[in-house]
Amino acid sequence: NAVVHWYKCDLRTKDNHALHLASEKAKSKGVPLICMYIVSPQDFEAHLTAPVRVDFILRTLEVLKADLAKLDIPLYVETVEKRKKIPQRVLELLEEWGANHLYTNVEYEVDELRREAKLVRGCLEKGIAMDAVADTCVVSPGELSSGSGKQYAVYSPWYRAWMAHCSGKPSLLDLFDAPQKNPSNARHQFLNLFASSIPETPENKRITSEEKKRFGSMWPAGEDAAHERLKKFTKDRIGGYQARRNFPAEIGTSSLSCHFACGSLSARTAVHTARENNSTKKLDGGDPGIQTWISEIAWRDFYKHVLANWPYVCMNKPFKPEYTNITWEYNQEHFRAWCEGKTGYPIVDAAMRQLNHAGWMHNRCRMIVGSFLAKHLLLDWRMGERYFMEHLIDGDFASNNGGWGFSASTGVDPQPYFRIFNPLLQSEKFDIDGDYIRKWVPELEGIKGKAIHDPYDRGNAKEAEKAGYPKRIVDHKASRERCLTRYKEGLGRE
């Protein structure tokens, strides 16, 4: 007899809802707890999981395996090639281990819900109990609805309801204890599971040893590393978060997104810690930096809520159906220039090169490049959404889809389509001295002063050309006009 916890995007021991329940159940029954993780290369491929993210997940699993082993809990990791086979294989493993209770945390994407539904049926047939519980959000999808019973489709009223809900129910931020130690004979009983190793995947094999080293030092994996980063951020930078978070040349944000995405840190722990650091010891009021940071984590909850309530966003459809009729461009040269950071717009190019090098991009820049792709280049926003997933260490369907909906004005945000970011103004405002551009676009290092934002028109064109910096692939004013016309046509407006 045993109780099993199935890990997915919750790769931690502390503050893990399903893992905690599994441990309690195992203890009450006096049986061991076994943890498992299924590596699905087909899932990685279907979900466009970036090699840098797969590498991060596998490194996190290594750390998790060691953390669990300290509690005499085995983490068994197995590759299942065909994702359709996952429920079947999970059932086989449960039977093999003589387990009669399975715990897992819910994922809200459509494929994942279908997989879980299959597993629920399989468990029922075999007389195995299964608990799938909410964990990934502070306020889970389904908990909030407006006075009239409708689902919120706009962030601000949703956030007010989120804050009121959390403030009225402080226990939402109580953290779940890590699992208890297994009975001492578990190690002997499951020797083969303890001895199993973390497999490689095709995505992971695609990254070079130089990249492996770079990502390893840029993005230390595991929950201790996540807690260390959270601690440092709340000690040194959260106070200045509101003022500094929009400047990509600074380390003004937490860089914790990769940990939230694979679950080596819970959103609950983050908000709990922020609250503890607030002068009021409450969620609202107090330090503006803390307030703003909490509201950013709430964005993550919001986009999961959108995904759960409007699941068609998982099927390549815009949140606003009326935006389906926009005629997009599919100019491959433009797309390549965007991907490679060679558009001739320094802030866009710096951002794309940061993404390609680090697997991460600053939020302000994600908005700038997103708007540039959808509005200036009029490329189908799904091409950008896809490229982001293929390159981000923190790739998360809900947040990425939400961010692209925001950038292309096709999503939940109420901003009208005619709000088009001007990349030159954004650059001057948020990379005032051009330090971010100089870091990521070394050809422009020698361009002095404000000319860095626009080296051909306002700077030394000869110098930029000599350094091999590309000319603008589109003109700002003309693309803006084209975009407005095209959106109007698509929406059937005069």
Active site positions, annotated:
296, 299, 328, 363, 381, 404
Instruction: Decide: 437 and 346 in contact? Cβ < 8 Å.
Output: yes
In the structure encoding, which two tokens stand for residue 104, read together? 């897992």
Instruction: Decide: 33 and 76 in contact? Cβ < 8 Å.
Output: no
Query: How far is the C-alpha of 66 from the C-alpha of 76, rounded, in Å?
Result: 12
Query: How far is the C-alpha of 485 from the C-alpha of 480, rounded, in Å?
Result: 9
Query: How far is the C-alpha of 390 from the C-alpha of 176, rounded, in Å?
Result: 33
Applying CB under 6 A, which residues contact ligand FAD? 245, 253-257, 260-261, 296-297, 299-300, 303, 363, 366-367, 370, 388, 392, 394-396, 399-400, 402-404, 406-407
Report in angstroms how near the CB of residue 15 gets to ligand FAD at its nearest. Answer: 15
User: What is the SS3 assignment for 6?
Assistant: strand
Report in angstroms how near the CB of residue 364 gets to ligand FAD at its nearest. Answer: 8
Report in angstroms how near the CB of residue 340 gets to ligand FAD at its nearest. Answer: 18
Residue 257 labeled ligand binder: yes
- Sorted by sequence, the CB contacts under 8 Å of residue 280 that are 6+ apart come out as 286
Residue 296 labeled ligand binder: yes
Q: Which of 391, 375, 386, 376 is nearest to 344 (CA)?
A: 376
Using the minimum distance from each CB to ligand FAD, give the nearer residue, 201 or 253: 253
Using the minimum distance from each CB to ligand FAD, give the nearer residue, 130 or 307: 307
Residue 298 labeled ligand binder: yes
Instruction: Decide: 108 and 141 in contact? Cβ < 8 Å.
Output: yes
Residue 300 labeled ligand binder: yes
Using the minimum distance from each CB to ligand FAD, give the nearer residue, 119 or 306: 306
- Sorted by sequence, the CB contacts under 8 Å of residue 457 that are 6+ apart come out as none
Report in angstroms how near the CB of residue 261 gets to ligand FAD at its nearest. Answer: 5
* Type of residue numbered 181: K
In the structure encoding, which two tokens stand for residue 5, read together? 């916890």
Query: How far is the C-alpha of 112 from the C-alpha of 165, rounded, in Å?
Result: 27
């999961």: which residue's tokens? 304
For residue 332, count CB atoms less than 10 angstroms from its CB and return exposed for 0-12, middle for 13-18, buried for 19 or more: exposed
Using the minimum distance from each CB to ligand FAD, give the nearer residue, 254 or 264: 254
Q: Which of 110, 48, 55 is nearest to 386 (CA)?
A: 48
Dihedral (C-alpha) 254, 255, 261, 263: value to the nearest 10 degrees? -60
Using the minimum distance from each CB to ligand FAD, give the nearer residue, 155 or 487: 155
Report in angstroms how near the CB of residue 356 gets to ligand FAD at its nearest. Answer: 15
Residues in the chain: 494
Residue 297 labeled ligand binder: yes
Using the minimum distance from each CB to ligand FAD, give the nearer residue, 366 or 453: 366
Residue 394 labeled ligand binder: yes
Residue 37 labeled ligand binder: no
DSSP character for 278? S
Query: How far is the C-alpha of 344 from the C-alpha of 472, rounded, in Å?
Result: 4
Report in angstroms how near the CB of residue 253 gets to ligand FAD at its nearest. Answer: 3
Report in angstroms how near the CB of residue 368 gets to ligand FAD at its nearest. Answer: 9
Query: How far is the C-alpha of 221 from the C-alpha of 262, rounded, in Å?
Result: 10
Residue 256 labeled ligand binder: yes
Query: How far is the C-alpha of 9 from the C-alpha of 54, rounded, in Å?
Result: 12
What residue is closest to ligand FAD based on CB? 403
Using the minimum distance from each CB to ligand FAD, give the nearer residue, 256 or 412: 256
Instruction: Decide: 304 and 108 in contact? Cβ < 8 Å.
Output: yes
Query: How far is the C-alpha of 368 from the C-alpha of 384, rounded, in Å?
Result: 12
Residue 210 labeled ligand binder: no
Q: List residues forming the annotated binding site.
A: 241, 253-257, 293, 296-303, 394-396
Q: List residues forming the annotated binding site for FAD.
A: 241, 253-257, 293, 296-303, 394-396
